[in-house]
Every structure is written in structure tokens, then in C-alpha cells.
Structure 1
Amino acid sequence: MGFSGGGGLRLLHCLLLYSAWQVGSGQVHYSVTEEAKHGTFVGRMAQDLGLEVGELVCRLFRMVSPDRRDYLEVNVQNGILFVNSRIDREKLCGRHPVCSIHLEVIVEKPLQVFHVEVEIKDINDNPPVFSVSQKKLFISESSPLDSRFPLEGASDADIGVNTVLTYRLSPNDFFTLDIQNNDEQIKPLGLILKKLLDREETPELHLLLTATDGGKPELTGTVELQITVLDVNDNAPKFDKKIYKVRLAENSLNGTTVIKVTASDMDEGANSQITYSFESDVPANVLSKFSIDPMDGDIRVIGEMDFEESKSYQIQVEATDKGIPKMVGHCTILVEVVDTNDNAPEVAVKSLSLPVPENSPSGTVIALISVSDRDSGTNGQVTCSLSPPGPFTLLSTFRNYYSLVLEGSVDRERVSAYELVVTARDGGSPALWATASVSVAIADVNDNAPAFEQPVYTVFVKENNRPGCHIFTVSASDLDAQENSLVSYSLVERRVGERTLSSYVSVHSESGKVFALQPLDHEELELLQFQVSARDAGFPPLGSNVSLQVFVLDENDNAPVVLPPYAGVSLVTELVSQSVAMGHVVAKIRAVDADSGYNAWLSYEQLPEVGVAGSPFRVGLYTGEISTTRALEEIDGLSQMLLVLVKDHGEPPLSATATLSISVVESRQALKASSGVSRSVASAGKEAMALDVNVYLIIAICSVSSLLVLSLLLYVALRCSRPQPGIYGPRKSTLVCSSEIGSWSYSQQRRQKVCSGEGGAKSDFMAFSPNLPPCSGPADSTEQQAVAQDHSAKISKQHQSTKIQGEIDTHSG
């Protein structure tokens, strides 16, 4: 079965790589004994790894040892692994049972990596070793038979059987060697006394202890045992008394002598030389307070003597001679400490019932205070006092205990906490005293309702606001604390026309922000009055209301509407005699605007006809009358088309157009046409009459408006000249900010309905609010500046309207 093309070659290549991986992934294991000489044969590495000896050089054969030591080396000529340097197993692996050297063999072209492990075998090259060469033992001649004296064994650096040790002792009459076998590797050694010692007969013994390992050949180690027989001391020192009693004043200075003890010994020589010391089991408080001179037995004070810490001390003293073995005598010293007035009273608040509700009745126990004095007698008798004076007092309940009692009324809004000082004074001379501070916090009860800064707020909002916009924020403060001061806001529901108040506005219960839920329409609703309720979270809850007057300001959102007969898309033709004089009124355009103020102030403008110049007609700027500017001529033609633009004064201005056709006829034709259009003539008479009425009406409205403005200015001046008493007392006027308008205002909006021509009544006059500084809120600063500029522009237009009204009056006259 053959392979075709590149597929067969790829399969053969994969088989070769797999075979190479199988060879390269194996591991070769060798072993060699430690201390082998240089050049000792270890193994045929190239052959064992399946490598050709002749390719070792060209394939860049190299061997790497992880520890970078050159213990082993490979001859690249024959592929044999041999010992290159001395190998000390104990230095390389210590006492580890298995010691190996791991090698990595790397060849290239192709790259292969092999792992070789060479185990180092132990040989018996280390003899047993004792820690010292000579061991000194001191054994009393009075030691009983079978007494055991422990010895330290030897150690061997080898492993396995090479480290198994056996011991033997040189022959003697007094001691035998004792070896205890157990499960542990360590075998305790000891000497067992088999014959009583006599120092006068045998003062010293010299023995040799030998240790032999289990290797081949055997290695040994020795230690010399030098035994000294000690003399027996058979007389102990004795004190004059068994018990000594001493009185010592507390606070005695360091170095003060407490007592001097003396002991005697009937022995001679070193056995009669005595040293003094405290017994080994003397308590730590004795060692920290007293010291003893070892030579003369003088006991002195070294620490602070405190009667309150310990009223007495019991000191165990021993006298030890210098004999061998040493003999000891004992005595007891009882030290009584005498009290002095050195401790100030201690004041502790054992129980504190805080905070104290501000409506707590008189006699309420607030705290239990304990007083104590570590002194005794009159030095420990304590009396207490309280300062500063206030609605609290101290009552003695029983010995060393006082009660802190409320004896008056407290008001958290007036004083939220009292800092009291309790003074305790003892009966010593001089008297000592101590103080303790007690902070009494007054807990709040819900006795204050939320309060607004003003009873009424006036807010101005532009119409066509976006739904959900923020128009104002009400804020009420509560003098109470915690939940009693947590204020929530809600609307006082009522009906506004056919709808509920909640369909127009809402208030956030936590922040007090008032939002307009839908766009407001000045033409539908000019003033929205409602109340917001603020209620705290106390029990029972308390609340108050504030009134809001929201004035909806007009925007230019209604375009002018041209009234019939020039409304719509139909073309109206007007007939004019060719012999009319200059100033003859041909027609009158009437239009109305649903807005108010400047937004409803209309002007009329004739749009130039393309390709026609020098029209003999003009349109009155504010009357809408189309009249001739000169006598008609033949060059004017028999008919002309006029396009009139009606534009209001809003920002931006809105406009509408009216189109009419004017036909020029001879005088006789005009008379004939007049009989056919008598109704049109009558209508023209009515229009002239309506024009006269409009002129007089505008003059009357301007007069009344001027009087109204003067009255408002006089009222404001009188209002500002004297304070207005109210339920909140005299205070400065507070500006009201509307985030949607961005201006400060107290003015009230007044509107008068004016009838324009045949149209319905419309708003033609408004008293605008003054342009005052904008609010300082960072979120609405850009909008406030824009609105402020809008108000400035309106004021400028107001001045222009005065001049224009004068022109209208002159033209009407």
C-alpha cells in the first residue's frame, strides 16, 4: 500500500517525530559509589540513549547539571559517562537516604532532551564521632547502688548499615554500660553504679567508651570518661529564728533596710561558708520588691511599696553552704505594710441611661455612679459633689454609690447636651480628690413642626416647558433631630378647572423639588395656585403648608392669523378708480395673534413683487391699511398683485401672508361696479368706522396702562419704604428663584383685552417683571443668563413700543 503526493510525506514525517519523541522522553539511570576516582566508568550514555557516537559532535551534544557542578563528564568520542571530580555523598545529600545527581542531555538537529539520573552509593568513610574527647562526671560518694548517670552517644555521617553503632566500656569494678533499646533511632546511654564509692579510697576513675559502626571495614570512635568522687557535706546551716516579723511603711524609699538575717554552720572549711538567697519558688512580687545581700543576709527595698497592692509579704530565705553536696537552711520573714493616704478616690459610672428624652419627668434616674478609695480608715472615706449647677443633682443611695437624678426640665432645642463633673474627695490629711466627666445627651421628641421661610412663594415659568422640568424647590426646616427632623413633601390636592392639581405639577417627597408634569399653556392657564405640605417623620407627625403662585409667562408660540376676507388661499380682487388721489385707502388687512404682549403686537409689511418696481400702493405698518402713494398712471397697468406679510414681535418672530389683487378701472366703470357691489361699499364703510374705533380704543388702553404702571410703581415704593408686619415678624424681602425662568421677580401680571377690528378680544398689554440678577445655581446658570438677556430685549422693545404708539396716534389723528 503506497502513499501518494504530499499526504504520504506528511504522514512519514509525523511517524519519525513520534519515534524521536518516544526516545527523547525516556530516562536513563546509573549508579556510582562516592569517593570514586577520576575517570571511573559510570555508563555508556550514547548507546543507552540511542545516539550515534559519531554524531555527538555535529549534533552539538552537551550535558547540563542543575547544580552546575562537574562531578560527571561525557567523552564525546565514545559516549561514555565517567567520574570527573570527587563526590562526597555526605556533603552532597547529608543524611538523606537517596542521593542522586540529575543530568539533562541536549542534542540538536533535531532537538532532543534526555534525562539521566546517577545515584551516589554510600561507603563507610566516616567513623563514629563523640561531641567531646573527654567527659567529666562528678558523682557523690553517697550515691546508692543502681544509680544511673546518662551519657551522650556518638554520631555517624554515613547511612544505612554504616551508621549502626555498638558501644563497649573499658573494664572496671564500679560501673557497667546501660543501653536502652526503643523504637527511636536514638539509643540512650548511661552508667549504672554497681559498687558503692569511697572518696578516701578511690577519689577518681578514668574509663574509655568506644563506639563501633556496622560498615566494612569497621570504624570506631572513643571518649574518655573522667569520674570525680565528691565528699559528703552532712551539716546544714541554721538561722537564729524560724520566723521574723517586720513592719514597713508603704512608699518606703529604695534601699531601705527591712531586716538582716544570720545563719551558722557547724562544719568546717568550705562546708561552713554560707551564702544567702531567696528560695527558688519565691513569688514574682517578692522578687520585684526586695533584694538580699548573698554575703551578709541584708534584705532591702528595691521596688515601690504599695499598701493597696499588697498589705503583707511572706519571704522565704535560705542559707546554703559551699560543701559538696551543698546543705541548705531555711527561715521565713513576714513583712507588714503600713498604710498612708497616697491614693486619690476613684469615680466610675456604673450605669448610664442615655440619651435622656427632653420630656422626661423630674426625678428620672440618669446614671449610677460608684466611688472608691484604695486607702483604709478615714483615708478611704469619700464624699461627692456635682458641678455646674443645672437641672441635675446627686443623691446618695447606699454606701459608695450615688444616683444622678433629673430635678428640672430639659429642652434639646435649647441645650442638646450637658457636660457634668462629679468630684470625689477623701477624708485624709491632706485630702485627695478626683473627678469624672459625665456627658448627658438630650434625646429629641417631636415637638417642632417643619417651618418654611415664607408663607407664600411666587414663581414665574415660561409656557411650553418640557414635561417633568424642575420649576422650583420648597424647603422646610425642623428644629428636631433624627427622624423627627426628616421632612417629606406632598401636594395639597385640589381641582384646577376640570382637572386635578396632580396632573399639572408634582413634588419630590425628599428634596422638595416641584416639577411641571406637562407643558403649561399661557393661553389656557395664566396662574396656577396650590399648596405644598411638609410633614416630619416623628410620632405623631407634625406638618405645615406653604402656598405657591406659579405665573405662566407667554412665549411666541402662536403665529398671526389673517381674518377674512383675505384669509385662506382664495384670491380677493379689489377695484380702484384710476382717478383716486394719493392716500386713498384701497383695502385693510386684519389679523389677530393668540399670544399676548410683544408676542401679539403685529406689524404689516408689503413684500416686493418680482420684476415690478415703484408700486403705487403701500401698507400701513401697524394698521394694515393699503393706500395709494400717488395718483395712478397708465404705466401702472390695469391690475396689480400685492403680497402682505403680517409679523409679530416675538423672539423669534412668527408671520403670516395675505394676497390680494387690485384692478384699476375708469371712473364710470367704478360707478357701475359700485352698484353691483353695494354690499362691498357698505362693508368698506363699516371698516372705516371700525378703524376709527380701534384708534380711539388704542389711545384709551395706552392711557389706562400708563396710569396702572404709575400706580404699581407708587405701591412698590411705599411697600419698600416701611416694613410690613406679618405672622413671621419683620424681615427683609426674600427673592424667589425659578430655575426655568432664571430671573427674580415680585411683579404681578395684568392683562387687558383689546378688540382688534372684527376679530375677537386679544391680549395687547402686559406689565413685565423687572430684569433682576439671575440665581446663583450652577446647574441653570446658562439658561438663566439666556432668559435674563431675553428680558433685557423685551424692556428695549417696550421703549420702542412707546415711540411706535406715538406714531400710531399721529397717523390716526
Structure 2
Amino acid sequence: MNFWSALQRFAWVHFLQNITTVRVSITDINDNTPVFSSDTYSKSILVKDAKVGDVLLTLSATDKDAGSNAVISYSFSEDSSMVALDAETGVITLTSDLSEVTEDTLLTLTAIATDHGTPPESDEAEVLIYFQIAPFTESVIFESSSYKFTIKENEPEASTVGKVKALTGSPLVTVRYNMKSHEDVFSVDGEGTIKVLRPLDKEEEEWFILTVEAIDSRTSPNSAETTVNVQVENVNEAPVFDAEIYKAEIFSNSPYKFPIVKVQASDPDVGESSELQYSLLESTTLLDVEASTGQIYVLDASRFGDNPFTFQVKATDKHGLFTTTTVEIEVKQSAHHDSVSVISLNRPIYIVEKKIPEMEDSMKKVLGWTVKILSVREEAGNEIRTILRESTDKTYVSFIATDSSGAVIQATVAKE
């Protein structure tokens, strides 16, 4: 290879291996917002010790951007005649001698941190400066040493009972509350509002004695307790019958005012069951009920018919609230043959007629059963209402007997 050929080959290879350097510059954009170090800045200052120029607080915010995008300026949303905010450092200084402040005063301001980007981004924080006339007492106390609230029974869950309040001497010191007793029945929230966790019943418990604790937010927390008396007020509740349906049997020849069945109701309201009044829901000439006892009597058994007779009885409390129950009566037609006993007396019928109550009482004492006379008739078969004084001295008395449970005694047993 000659000299020129070698030189050309060297130049060609050198050209193929040439290297260059490229530099890329990344420009920051304002894609981050300034962030204050705290959502709230607070300071208490004693008026008599305050001087113009005193540093009260220093605000601080940061921005993750670079360059001018990270440069922050501070300002208030509204100007204040009492304090000033340094736009560069975030330092808040006192600009007033506070001579016009004659009572405790809370100054609330909104601070803004704004970066220098395009467009600018900003963040806000609350500034609380409390000017106090007298020094704080480093404690927490309730407005009252005890509270009394009332709540009606059967109020739904989460119903408000009342509200307690504890004082710290400074609006910059917060309070939280704890329920120290009956936590399964009552709760207290951060505002001191007491609520019920379930419906209450005066008949079960009328008074609750609660203990509520307040704890302040100081570095070394203080606490206080108060007593809360809660009275459960009565709400009128409807009476309740012992049974939804009462069933009874009578005979077709049962006499006037013969007892059938006794209904009984109770009043959930304390001490009011004895004041219930019983009555028929619809009036009828077949039955009657004794208002104070609930004893149901037959007035005219002959008109019942063969089918069971159903009617409603109501129990009404002294406030007019009532409830009803059903009474179902079955009429037995075979009573005359199976259950009615007959005795013969050697006395005129008009004399026997006058002694019916005494006869019933005497037979009850002797037999040990409840005896009800059904009819009194003379030997000829005429009943009382058709008899004259000159009738015979032979009188027949038909009666029915029942044991202590109300079961009818058969005539054969009574005869024995």
C-alpha cells in the first residue's frame, strides 16, 4: 500500500469513530403548592406585659419546587391594626400598645403562603392570638358542679339528654369529655353533648347518676369531674291484658247477673293498674262488666243462641288510653239435665224468694262451692214472677255450683 492509500484509509476510519456530547437542561414548572408547617398557629399574650415590636409567632411554609417557584411570601387575608406579618420571614410582631384592650380578646386571622411561580400557588393557615387581661389559671373546671336533665321514656337511640361544658380560661386550650359511669346507657361527645344509647323505661329505672370527666389539651393535662342527674319521665302507655282471648262457658238457663269470666289488665305505668276501668267496646243487653274488677256477668242467656258468642272488652287508664281483649263464650244447652241441682223446701215461694241471697251464702259455706240459684218455682211448676201469696208451701229451688276454678259441679256430685 502506498503512502496516499494509507493516508486515505486512516482518514476514513477516523471519521467513522468521531464522538460528540449533548447537554439537556430541565426547566422547573410550578407544580407544587406551598404547605404550612401547621394548620393553626396560636399565642396567648398578657396585655399588661405586651410591647410594640414584640415577636408573637413565626409562620413557616415549604415548597418542593425549585428556583423562584419555591420562593414564598407571607401575608394576611385582611390587614390588622394590632399585628404585622413580615412577607419574607413569616414573623408576626405586635404593632399596637393594646391600650384599648379592656377585656379578654381573641384575634383570629388567616395567613397565606404564596410562591413566586407562574401561575402562583398558595396555602392557608389559621392564626389565633389571645390577648388576656389577667393571667390564666392552669386548670379546667365545669360551669356547674352538677347538672340535672330529664328525658322521656321510650325516646329513640341517640336522643339528646343535655349538654355539659368545661372551662379552661383560654380559647386556645381545648377540652375532651369522657363518660365515667353508665357507659352502656349514655355517651358524651367532644362538645359535651350527652346522648342516650337505648330507649329507657321509667318503670325499670327512674334516675341515673352520671359522672362526666373533662380533660384539657395542655402539655400536662388537667382534668375535672361533674355529676349529671338524669330523670326518666313517664310516658302514658296503654294497659295490657293478661290474655289476648278469654274463653268461658255458660248454660242456656244461666240466671241474671251470673258471673261468666273475669278479665284482668295491668298498666305499665307505675302504680296505675288499680285505676283501670273496664267496659264493653260495644254495648249489649246480653252482658255487662263490672267497671272496677273486670268481672263479666250474663244479663240474658236465653238470647245467646247455639253458636259461640264473641265480644270485645276494653281497659281504660285514667288518661283515656285503652286496649281491648276478646271474650269468647260457648253456650251449653245440656246444663239443665247434667249440672243443675234441685232442692225442695217446705216454705211458700214468696218467702223463699226473699231469702235467695242468704240461701246462696249458706249453701256455699256448707258445700264449699260457689252456688248460684237459677230459678225458684212452686210445686205446680210456676216460677216466682207468676206466684201469688196463697200458693202452696212446697217450693223447688234450682241451682248450679262451681268450684274455685270456675268449673261447674255436676248435678250427681252435688246431690251426693
Task: State the TM-score, normalized to the length of structure 1.
Answer: 0.22
- Whose Rg is larger? 1
Bigger helix share? 1
Task: State the TM-score, normalized to the length of structure 2.
Answer: 0.39
